[in-house]
Amino acid sequence: MSTEDEKKQRKGIYLLPNLLTTAGLFVGFYSIVASMHGRYQAAAIAIFIAIVIDGLDGRVARMTNTVSDFGAEYDSLSDMVCFGLAPALVIYEWSLSHMVQLGWAKLGWLAAFFYAATAALRLARFNAQCDIEDKRFFKGLASPAAAALLVGTVWAADDIGLQGASLILPSFFLTLTAGALMVSNIRYYSFKDISASHRVPFMAILAIVLAFMFASLDPPKVLLAGFIFYALSGPALSLRVLNKHKPRIIPGG
């Protein structure tokens, strides 16, 4: 390869992974617009689509050997929109904006801002420590999972006919809890040690098929239940580790 070709390669960016990141950014922006027009189910579904895309772009970049610093920074900025700003605005428009009825108007948008700020801090910490952290675990709840808790609640509640105005306090505490979990030191399993190129038992494929079938029965409730379980798995893992290392007191004879 000539020097001129090398310069062109350095100046250019890889199309496929960045195209996926752009698609994720688009659906995140669409979620914001949909929530502003009261289309909360569409807004929530858009965030879940962004979660799927976010899981694909990095893997596609590694599989096609197109990992780049530009792609990593672009993906992080897209994540801030999709899993930081968009969920905060969705939960605010759906429920937290109604806190004015309780005389706590400022607390509604402050809670939404807290979530957005903690998502930014979570992403910044991840970028700064990604080279030294154990790849098998996340420190703090990942921003896509936190976003799924918020918009999954909106989707499931809207699906059964519950209005955000009737769930003001649960939405408020859920928003604060999701934000706090993102910046906590609680460890969560990352699933990054699972590779698509590795062999898996036949029953694992059957389990995936059954999971898809189960999720298709009632997507909003099943997805919300799954992410609630994942959010609780971190504290459960931490308690298990603490109990394992807790010194045992041997009673005297």
Asked whether residue 251 is assigned to any structural domain, the reply reads no
Radius of gyration of the chain (CA): 21
Residue 65, domain member (yes or no): yes
Number of independent structural domains in the chain = 1
How far, CA to CA in Å, does 3 sit from each of 8, 10, 15, 167? 9, 11, 22, 62
Q: What is the pLDDT of residue 5?
A: 47
Q: CB pairs under 8 A, 24+ apart, for 167-174?
A: 167/95, 168/95, 168/96, 168/98, 168/99, 168/101, 168/102, 171/91, 171/94, 171/95, 171/96, 172/95, 172/96, 172/99, 172/107, 172/108, 172/111, 174/91, 174/149, 174/150
- pLDDT value of position 11: 57
Any domain includes 10: yes
- Tell me, what's the pLDDT at 2? 46
Q: How far lies 233's CA from each of 119, 146, 193, 227, 228, in Å?
A: 19, 13, 18, 10, 9
Residue 92 half-sphere exposure toward CB, CA atoms < 13 A: 21
Residue type, 213: M
Please name the residue that has the structure tokens 């408020």. Answer: 172
Residue 55: which CATH number? 1.20.120.1760
pLDDT score of 1: 45
Residue written as tokens 């999971």?
211
In a domain, 99, yes or no: yes
* Contact (CB, 8 A) for 177 and 60: no
SS (H, E, C) the chain: CCHHHHHHHHHCCCHHHHHHHHHHHHHHHHHHHHHHCCCHHHHHHHHHHHHHHHHHHHHHHHHCCCCCHHHHHHHHHHHHHHHHHHHHHHHHHHCHHHHHHHCCHHHHHHHHHHHHHHHHHHHHHHHHHCCCCCCCEEECCCHHHHHHHHHHHHHHHHHCCCCHHHCHHHHHHHHHHHHHHHCCCCEEECCCCCCCCCCCCHHHHHHHHHHHHHHHHCHHHHHHHHHHHHHHHHHHHHHHHHHHHCCCCCCCC
Please indicate, yes or no, if residue 250 is contained in any of the structural domains.
no
User: What pLDDT, on the 0 to 100 scale, is given for residue 218?
Assistant: 86
pLDDT score for 134: 66
Encode pLDDT of 131-190 as tens digits. 666 677 888 999 999 999 999 999 999 999 999 999 999 999 999 999 999 999 999 987
Q: Which domain holds residue 113?
A: 3-242
Whether residue 253 lies inside any domain: the answer is no
pLDDT at 248: 53
228 inside domain: yes
Please indicate, yes or no, if residue 247 is contained in any of the structural domains: no
What residues of the chain score a pLDDT lower than 50? 1-9, 249-253
